[in-house]
Chains A and B, each alone.
Chain A
Amino acid sequence: MEDALAGKHGGALYVVNPSTGQIATKVGESEPQPSQSVYLTWTVTFKPTLKNPSRVFAAQWS
């Protein structure tokens, strides 16, 4: 899941002629991968009450 959320940087590795600064050859290339969306099983409306089931406890824990 972490990999899906993070995506992946792309890149290319070239050999450059030091005297001319020109690219001599491309050694390899990796395509970037965009991050993806992770959908959870959470029920959004349920969570706040679960987090704080009673203001009695909120007062105790504050």
Chain B
Amino acid sequence: MEVDSGRVLAMATSPDYDSNIFETNNPNSSERIAELFQRTDDPLLNRAAQGQYPLGSVFKIITMAAGMESGLYLPETTFDCQYDWTKLPDTIRRDWTWQRCQNRLQSGRECNTSDSMPSGLVTLPEGLMRSCNPLFYDIGYTLYQNNRQNDIANMARAFGLGSATGIGQITEAVGNISDPQTAVDVVNQAIGQGDMMVTPLQVAKFIAALGNGGTLYRPQLVESIHPIEGAPTQVFKPEATGVLPVTPERLQVIREAMIQVVENSRGTANFRLRGTPVPVAGKTGTAESGSGLPHAWFAGYTLCKDVADKYPVCKDKPDIAIVVVLENIGDGSEWAAPIFKRMVEVYYFGTPQSQLHFEVGILGPTKTPTPFGGIPTETPSE
């Protein structure tokens, strides 16, 4: 989605189906339709607009906004981010680094890496960069204690979650953002879990708004309608539907933190997005789904427009927001962030510029990009 207009450049869902089977003249139609409806993987569901998922840690952007707008948190407010958060008696809540540490211990390794050690003392933007669960639990709990238990839900709704984007032409689900009833509800909501449901399209809409400085645009699918000859009968223009209720200064703090997620060596997406050929900002998310592996999220936007003098490929391309969700596959940083990177590469260069880490060893050696119609060459093996 273009961040400055809401124009949707591409939308895809998998698994898919062959729409030709609905052609009544197709002799295989009835048989194939019967097969389609027997499938259990819901190919008819357009996951981009109708898929409803917990947002996981991408939601921390909204919790951070709510915390700052409440006046209870400043960007420079510090928090000691350790493995555990125990202010609620129902259970010990863990940071994601704790699980990474457990995984390392089980394989006989020490917890001495950036992703297996607690983040330690962090400011608010550093907490977002590190996706520190205890910090965001604490923001939720502090809001609850100050009779502001609906602040996060209200902020989420103001970001466009829990309601239709208004895209039109295609069916969309509205998701769910409910007002939390208990401290446990608030704390779970603060990290994008609990009973919340959002669609990838809703997320693209607010990520685009973060990219453009705060304006929410209705996602636009139709550019214009033309008769056979002559001028168009209808031309559709970008339509702003709202503004993120965050002061410009605080919005900038969030934007800077999203850059650090990618650029800082301790950022959760740094490892997988290193080498992205243009500047980007974003947030990882790993959302517990209730069964199986978690859903992997990455949501981000490009920051090309303002640096076009340094990056020639940025010159004629509007900045875009991209949202990637993969169901029941694992960590957002491991699965969704690399696909975000590929999308960026294809948008700016027309072809992938690198091999993704999970392709190595499966798809063979890296191919260098084809230079102006030349023949790809294999990278020499060591």
Question: A46 CA to B346 CA in the complex, in Å?
Answer: 7
Q: Which residues of B contact A52 (CB under 8 A)?
A: 14
B9 and A37 within 8 A (CB): no
The residue on A at minimum CB distance from B226 is A37
Residue from the list A38, A45, A49 in contact with B352, Cβ < 8 A: A49
A41 and B221 within 8 A (CB): yes
The residue on A at minimum CB distance from B339 is A53
Question: A52 CA to B16 CA in the complex, in Å?
Answer: 11
B358 and A50 within 8 A (CB): no
Does B249 count as interface, using CB distance less than 8 angstroms? no
Does B375 count as interface, using CB distance less than 8 angstroms? no
Does A51 count as interface, using CB distance less than 8 angstroms? yes
The residue on A at minimum CB distance from B350 is A45
Q: Which residues of A contact B25 (CB under 8 A)?
A: none
The residue on B at minimum CB distance from A49 is B346
Residue from the list B14, B233, B346, B363 in contact with A55, Cβ < 8 A: B363
Does B7 count as interface, using CB distance less than 8 angstroms? yes
Does A43 count as interface, using CB distance less than 8 angstroms? yes
A39 and B9 within 8 A (CB): no
Question: A46 CA to B352 CA in the complex, in Å?
Answer: 11
Known A-B contacts A49-B346, A54-B342, A61-B15; the reply to A36 vs B226 at CB < 8 A is yes
The residue on A at minimum CB distance from B5 is A41
B343 and A36 within 8 A (CB): no
Known A-B contacts A55-B359, A56-B359, A57-B14; the reply to A38 vs B343 at CB < 8 A is no
Question: A44 CA to B169 CA in the complex, in Å?
Answer: 19
The residue on A at minimum CB distance from B326 is A57
B359 and A54 within 8 A (CB): yes
Interface size of B in residues (CB-CB distance below 8 Å): 33
Question: A55 CA to B14 CA in the complex, in Å?
Answer: 13
Does B10 count as interface, using CB distance less than 8 angstroms? yes
Q: Which residues of A contact B226 (CB under 8 A)?
A: 36-37, 39
Question: A60 CA to B223 CA in the complex, in Å?
Answer: 35
B223 and A54 within 8 A (CB): no
A42 and B9 within 8 A (CB): yes
B222 and A1 within 8 A (CB): yes
A58 to chain B, nearest CB (A): 9
B10 and A42 within 8 A (CB): yes
Question: A4 CA to B236 CA in the complex, in Å?
Answer: 14
Q: Which residues of B contact A9 (CB under 8 A)?
A: none
Q: Mark B209-235, 1 if CB is under 8 A from A, else 0.
A: 000000000001111111110000110
Does B36 count as interface, using CB distance less than 8 angstroms? no
B10 and A53 within 8 A (CB): no
Q: Which residues of B contact A57 (CB under 8 A)?
A: 14
Does B34 count as interface, using CB distance less than 8 angstroms? no
Q: Which residues of B contact A49 (CB under 8 A)?
A: 342-343, 346, 352
Does A47 count as interface, using CB distance less than 8 angstroms? yes
Q: Which residues of B contact A47 (CB under 8 A)?
A: 10, 12
B220 and A50 within 8 A (CB): no
B359 and A46 within 8 A (CB): no
A-B pairs with beta carbons under 8 Å apart, 12 shown: A1-B222, A4-B233, A39-B223, A40-B223, A41-B8, A47-B12, A49-B352, A51-B12, A54-B342, A54-B358, A56-B356, A61-B15
What residues of chain B have their CB less than 8 Å away from a CB belonging to chain A?
A: 7-12, 14-16, 169, 220-228, 233-234, 339, 342-343, 346-347, 350, 352, 356, 358-359, 362-363
